[in-house]
Structure 1
Amino acid sequence: MESAPREVLLFTLEGQRYGLPAGDVRELVRAARLTPLPRAPAVVEGLLNLRGELLPVLDLRRRFRHPPRSLSPLDHFIVARAGPRRVVLRVDRAEGLRVLAPGEWDDTPRELPGVGYVAGAAKLEDGLVLVHDLRAFLSEAEALELDAALAAPPETP
Structure 2
Amino acid sequence: MTPTPREVLLFTLEGLRYALPSADVRELVRAARLTPLPQAPDVVEGLLNLRGELLPVLDLRRRFRLPPRPLAPLDHFIVARAGSRTVVLRVDRAEGLLTLEPGAVDEAPSALPGVGYVAGVVKLPEGLVLVHDLRSFLSEAEALALDTALANAPGAS
Q: What is the TM-score when the length of structure 2 is the normalising length?
A: 0.94
Give the C-alpha shift of residue 110 in structure 1: 6.9
The runs of 5 or more residues in structure 1 that have no matched partner are none
Name 1:147's counterpart in structure 2.
147
Name 2:100's counterpart in structure 1.
100
Name 2:123's counterpart in structure 1.
123
Structure 2 distance, partners of 1:134, 1:96, is: 18
- Contact preservation (8 Å) 1:110, 1:116: no
Secondary structure of the equivalent of 2:73? coil
Pair 1:62-2:62 in alignment: yes
Inter-CA distance 153–88: structure 2 relative to 1 (3 Å threshold): closer
Secondary structure of the equivalent of 2:149? helix
Pair 1:5-2:5 in alignment: yes
Structure 1 distance, partners of 2:58, 2:24, is: 15
Structure 1 counterpart of 2:117, one-letter code: Y
- Contact preservation (8 Å) 1:8, 1:21: yes
Q: What is the CA RMSD across the aligned residues, in angstroms?
A: 1.3
Q: Report percent identity of matched pairs.
A: 79
Please state which structure has a larger fraction of its residues in helix: 1
- Contact preservation (8 Å) 1:110, 1:120: no
Name 2:114's counterpart in structure 1.
114
Structure 2 counterpart of 1:129, one-letter code: V
Structure 2 counterpart of 1:30, one-letter code: R
Give the C-alpha shift of residue 99 in structure 1: 0.2
Structure 2 counterpart of 1:97, one-letter code: L
When structure 1 is superposed on structure 2, of 123-132 and 10-19 the one drifting more is 123-132
Give the C-alpha shift of residue 111 in structure 1: 7.5
The runs of 5 or more residues in structure 2 that have no matched partner are none
Inter-CA distance 152–110: structure 2 relative to 1 (3 Å threshold): farther
Extract structure 1 runs of 4+ deviating beyond 4 A. none
Equivalent pairs counted in the alignment come to 153
